[in-house]
Amino acid sequence: MLKHIKYWLAYGCLAAGFAACNQMTEQKANQQDQANDTTRAPTPAPREDRPTFKLDTTYKDYRFSISTRGDATLRNLYVGIGTIKDSTRMDTIIENDIKGNVGGVAMADLDKDGQPEVYVFSTSGGAALNGRVYGLVIQKKGALKINTSEIDTLNVKDYQGRDSFYVQHNELVRTYPAFEEGQRNTLTTDTRKTIRYKLVKSGNGYTLKTQ
């Protein structure tokens, strides 16, 4: 009787071993099939959520915290606005899906009305490198977005991007390399064109316009 028990125990252990071995073989085969399956959608990379641009600064009686989050496909701009007198409170304005990388920020009061403005400058990706401006007028009741369509839709023959923006006195200044007809990516002469924009109040809004 004891011999029979030992026999069945040995047989059971051997059978369990075969079953475990078969299970491991099937798992490896399934993993290999998944690796070889080109019809499966690739696992998306995690979206970048750390700040890709960050600047904390002050202007007159205001505090500003400006940052961007996201990646090249979806990037949001956050403009935090507070006062120097109250360091515990800050309101945040969000501009969704901004184009390109933020490269600079300027604070100014171009129209000299006592209400400061925030200007955020970005450059689009790819070969174009077109410049864009996101502007806000800071009012006591909140922030008001500035119409920058004249800047964002510049359409002249010698323009191929690569802008630089800065504030000078009461104007927003844009410079870019002016390409002659037939030139593509390389300038044969070091020629830059300058465009100056004024902040103009129109109705209840504000617009940046050339003069």
Give yes or no for a contact between 54 and 66, defined as CB atoms under 8 angstroms apart: yes
pLDDT the model gives residue 31: 54
- The two structure tokens encoding residue 207: 């617009």
pLDDT at 1 over 70: no
Instruction: Please return the burial class of 105, using the count of CB atoms within 10 Å of its CB with bins 0-12, 13-18 and 19+.
Output: middle
- The two structure tokens encoding residue 124: 């689009």
**What integer is the mean pLDDT of 136-145?**
91
pLDDT the model gives residue 70: 85
pLDDT the model gives residue 9: 37
Residue 155 burial (CB count, 10 A): 5
d(CA 110, CA 170): 4
pLDDT at 17 over 50: no
Which positions ≥6 away from 80 have C-beta within 8 Å? 63, 64, 65, 66, 67, 90, 91, 92, 93
| pLDDT tens-digit series, residues 102-134 | 989 999 999 999 999 999 999 887 777 888 999
Which positions ≥6 away from 134 have C-beta within 8 Å? 77, 95, 98, 119, 120, 122, 148
| pLDDT tens-digit series, residues 147-205 | 999 998 888 888 888 889 999 999 999 999 887 765 555 555 568 899 999 999 988 89
pLDDT the model gives residue 36: 53
d(CA 199, CA 170): 8
Q: Give the residue with greater pLDDT, 130 vs 66.
A: 66
Residue whose tokens read 């515990």: 88
DSSP count for the chain of H helices, then E strands: 2, 12
Domain boundaries, the chain: 51-210
Give yes or no for a contact between 108 and 116, defined as CB atoms under 8 angstroms apart: yes
Of the candidates 58, 52, 108, 103, the one whose C-alpha atom is nearest the C-alpha of residue 78 is 52
Cross-strand bridge partners of residue 208: 199
d(CA 4, CA 75): 73
